[in-house]
Amino acid sequence: MLAELGIITTGLALLCAIFALVASLFGAVNHRERWIRAARNAALLTWPLLTTACIAIVAAQLTGEFNIAYVYNTTNTTEPLFYKATALWGGQPGSLLFWSWMLSTFTAAAVLINWKRERRLIPWVITFTMGVLAFFLVLNVFVENPFARYWTTGTGDPIMSVLAPAGMQLFQPIDGKGLNPLLRHPGMVIHPPMLYAGFVGFVIPWAFGMAALASGDLGTNWIKATRRWTLVAWLFLGLGLILGGRWAYDVLGWGGYWGWDPVENSALLPWLAGTAFLHSVLIQEKRGMLKVWNLFLVVLTFLLVILATFNTRSGLVDSVHSFARSQVGWPMFLFTAGTVGISLGLWVWRWQRGELRTENKLDGLLSRESMFILNNWVFLAITLMVAWGIYAPTFTELITGEKITLHTDYYRYYVIPLFGVLYVLMGIAPLVAYKRMAWKALGRSLRVSLIGTALFAAFLIVVGTTPGAVFAYTLVMLAAFTTVIEYVRGTRARMRAHGESAPQALTMLFRRNQRRYGGYLIHLGVVVIGFGIIGSTVFQQTTQQTITPGQTITLGAYTLRYDRIYQADAEDGRGIVKADATVLRGGQPVAEIHPRKDFFGTGGMTSTIAGQYSTLEADFYVLLDNWQGDRATFKIFLNPLVNLVWWGGLILIFGTLIAMWPRAEYEPAVQTARVPREAAAVAV
């Protein structure tokens, strides 16, 4: 029953999406209100249909309907409820359905919110969002259907099919395979939804951008309508990335949180383009410039989202994150090629017609506008270098036949320095005036920041650290100083102008300038993350030793004392080997940790869970590598400042919430003014 419900609702949703696509296109081109209305209704209808489909599959997973292939592959009877409920995105078909549902939700929200306000854009918005939704539903219905079931003739192996084959009965396996053990972690519950919300969230700004290109409404309407969407999508994507890192740090057992894996990088690409876009639209709102850039950036962000999902699902690049091999490769390729063609085609078309020009040109070489352009360029450079790192091995093999690896060294030397440039920009650009600024004036503004930074650098040199670290920390600190100084100046200006106390002034600063000061808070979050990354990468220490109970290993200021090791079986059938150990600092015990290894089934899959002692200062991170009897081999990492990465992420969330929080729209104050006769006579 659940499967039939699912098949029917997804099929109907596909029909609605196709109808909405065609109707809105027709209505937009020919200005037919009724067609547009019909398209809107069809688009909205996809939401209850897809919600029902999702509920159907989740219900099937919770109740153990193992004749549905997807349920069989992602759940089993011993799996905790927690993971059964989130198995919706545990495999390719379900995650595609989840994508579609999310897109339908976001589209419904965007359409309903903007229906009255953006009459010129909305028809096209429906066209483009429904186009994307239709494609994903085609995948969901015809290629990777989560409601395919097992059928058998009674003899022979069961086959998988959506519709009942002639003369076959439903086959009901007794138990399922269960979720991949490596995915059984709270990270699995939150990381994919965050990431998908980020990816799908960027479809809306793209659709509005495309609507702007298609309709000719090339001003700031499309940007204003999607301002919060972009921020929210950006936040979710950023969080998805940070959470992914945290999850990897917790369970993958190599002491790090970012592996420059192709799929990780693929998710980073739209975040980079999206950040550039976020910043660049400010200039269009302020001065009407950079239209070409903004439309290009929103198109690029969307294309990178599609590329990311293509990479993950098609098997084009080898990665630990890839889904199992499936048929979606070529359909996704065609869809990607098609969207590239249409998006870039529209953009070039408008550019050729000169409609993306503005009368405001760049004034000064040193100006806020030029800083933003430089910002765009640096982000694009990073995007190109990271994308190159992902694809160069594949393409090199095509050309030369030789397979190469581009990994840590490549990113360390060619990508990280560009991030350093971004920190410098963060430290300088907020102080640069619009239109034009004299270099001397910038020097004056920067004075306090530079002095503070120089003092900090001197402090580091005195304390004693490597030159590279001094340089890196100093760059990040410059950004910190500038941001803090902006707050100080703003607060003092308010105190002077309104006579408020310092805390009052600061609060009002946030209230009256949400975007700006929320944005600065985000910058502070990025600064904190920067410190965390530098500390945990540059100053990471590691050692691996084999000891017996009672012996110790010392790393940095910490000592590990190995107490005992034992084996057990968990209730879900896992075999566990766990070590008890005590962490000592300065001779005093500070924590008990339990590094362990989990063994799943006969497939030999192992999960290595670290024992961690975490403080702001450092993470003392211990892995149980191997053992023989009670001789155990421990691999220990000392990651200084790594927790700043996660705390920085929290600051980032907070800043974004402030920046995007809905405000009461103020009524414009209306007052009739009397114009003096003399002034009226002056020709303006």
Partner 1 sequence: MSEAVQPTKAAHPWLVPLLAVVVVGAIIAGFGLALNRSQQDSIDSGPAPDFTLRLDSGGDFKLSEKRGKVVVMNFWASWCGPCRSEAPMLNSLYTEYRAKGVEFVGVGYLDNRNDALRFISETNMSYPTGNDDGTRVSRAYRVRQVPESYLIDKQGNIAMHISGEITPANVAQVRAALEKALAG
Partner 2 sequence: MSGDQLLIGRAGLKPLRYYGLVTSKSGTPNRNRPVHSWLGSSLIFTLILILMFGGNSARAQVAAPTPRPVTDDEVNRISRALYCPVCQNITLEVCPTEACARWREQVRDLLTEGKTEPEIRQYFIDRFGMRTVGLPTDPTGQLLSVGIPLVLVLVVGGLLAFNILSRRRRGTASAVDDGEPIGYGDEVVVPDDYAARLEAQLKELR
Is 82 or 395 the residue whose CB approaches partner 1 more closely?
Answer: 395
Does residue 45 contact residue 16 with C-beta atoms inside 8 Å?
A: yes
Q: Give, as ranges, the residues between 364 and 423 that touch partner 1 (CB under 8 A).
A: 391, 394-395, 397-398, 401-403
Is 175 or 355 the residue whose CB approaches partner 1 more closely?
Answer: 355
CA-to-CA dists, residue 673 to 337, 666, 684, angstroms: 58, 21, 17
220 binds partner 1 (CB under 8 A): yes
Which helix (H) or strand (E) segment holds residue 135: the answer is helix 122-138
The amino acid at residue 329 is G
Residue 189: alpha-carbon gap to chain centroid: 15
Q: Give, as ranges, the residues between 550 and 609 that touch partner 2 (CB under 8 A).
A: 553-555, 567, 575, 597, 604-606, 608
Distance separating alpha carbons of residues 86 and 95, to the nearest angstrom: 10
Distance separating alpha carbons of residues 423 and 178, to the nearest angstrom: 45
Is 202 or 621 the residue whose CB approaches partner 2 more closely?
Answer: 621
Q: Which does 412 bind (CB under 5 to 8 A by kind): partner 1, partner 2, none?
A: partner 2
Does residue 580 contact residue 589 with C-beta atoms inside 8 Å?
A: no
Q: Give, as ranges, the residues between 570 and 629 that touch partner 1 (CB under 8 A).
A: none
406 binds partner 2 (CB under 8 A): yes
143 binds partner 1 (CB under 8 A): no
* Tokens standing for residue 595: 């590094």
Applying CB under 8 A, among 26, 115, 388, 487 the residue interacting with partner 2 is 388
Q: Give, as ranges, the residues between 195 and 254 that touch partner 2 (CB under 8 A).
A: 252-254
Q: How many residues bind partner 1 (CB under 8 A)?
A: 34
* Tokens standing for residue 405: 């690896």
Q: Give, as ranges, the residues between 312 and 341 that touch partner 1 (CB under 8 A).
A: 314-316, 329-330, 333, 336-337, 340-341
Report which of 424, 419, 434 is spatially closest to residue 378, judged by C-alpha positions. Answer: 419
At its nearest, how many Å lie between partner 1 and the CB of residue 287? 8
Q: Give, as ranges, the residues between 470 and 529 that touch partner 1 (CB under 8 A).
A: none
Cβ neighbours, 10 Å, residue 256: 19
453 binds partner 2 (CB under 8 A): no
108-147 footprint of partner 2 as x/- string (CB under 8 A) = ----------------------------------------
Applying CB under 8 A, among 112, 113, 164, 320 the residue interacting with partner 2 is 320
**For the chain, first and last CA: distance in Å?**
75
* Tokens standing for residue 480: 């910190």
Distance separating alpha carbons of residues 208 and 189, to the nearest angstrom: 31
Applying CB under 8 A, among 405, 557, 615, 650 the residue interacting with partner 2 is 405
At its nearest, how many Å lie between partner 1 and the CB of residue 262? 12
Does residue 280 contact residue 297 with C-beta atoms inside 8 Å?
A: yes
518-547 footprint of partner 2 as x/- string (CB under 8 A) = ----------------x--xxxxxxxxxx-
DSSP E strands: which ranges in 180-273?
Answer: none
Applying CB under 8 A, among 4, 33, 175, 318 the residue interacting with partner 2 is 318
547 binds partner 1 (CB under 8 A): no
Does residue 204 contact residue 229 with C-beta atoms inside 8 Å?
A: yes
Is 63 or 541 the residue whose CB approaches partner 2 more closely?
Answer: 541
CA-to-CA dists, residue 550 to 81, 542, 589, 628, angstroms: 40, 21, 14, 16
364 binds partner 2 (CB under 8 A): yes
Residues facing residue 588 across a β-bridge: 585
Distance separating alpha carbons of residues 441 and 561, to the nearest angstrom: 59
Supply φ then ψ for residue 587, to 5 degrees: 85, -10
Is 249 or 335 the residue whose CB approaches partner 1 more closely?
Answer: 335
Q: Which does 220 bind (CB under 5 to 8 A by kind): partner 1, partner 2, none?
A: partner 1
Q: What is the DSSP letter of 87?
A: G
Is 103 or 300 the residue whose CB approaches partner 1 more closely?
Answer: 300
At its nearest, how many Å lie between partner 1 and the CB of residue 316? 5
Q: Which does 358 bind (CB under 5 to 8 A by kind): partner 1, partner 2, none?
A: partner 1
Cβ neighbours, 10 Å, residue 324: 10
What 3-state class would DSSP assign to 585?
A: strand
Q: Which does 626 bind (CB under 5 to 8 A by kind): partner 1, partner 2, none?
A: partner 2
178 binds partner 2 (CB under 8 A): no
Tell me the DSSP string of 317-344. Answer: S--TTPPPP-TTHHHHHHHHHHHHHHHH
Is 160 or 374 the residue whose CB approaches partner 2 more closely?
Answer: 374
Binding interface with partner 1 (CB under 8 A):
218-220, 287-288, 314-316, 329-330, 333, 336-337, 340-341, 344, 348, 351-355, 357-360, 391, 394-395, 397-398, 401-403
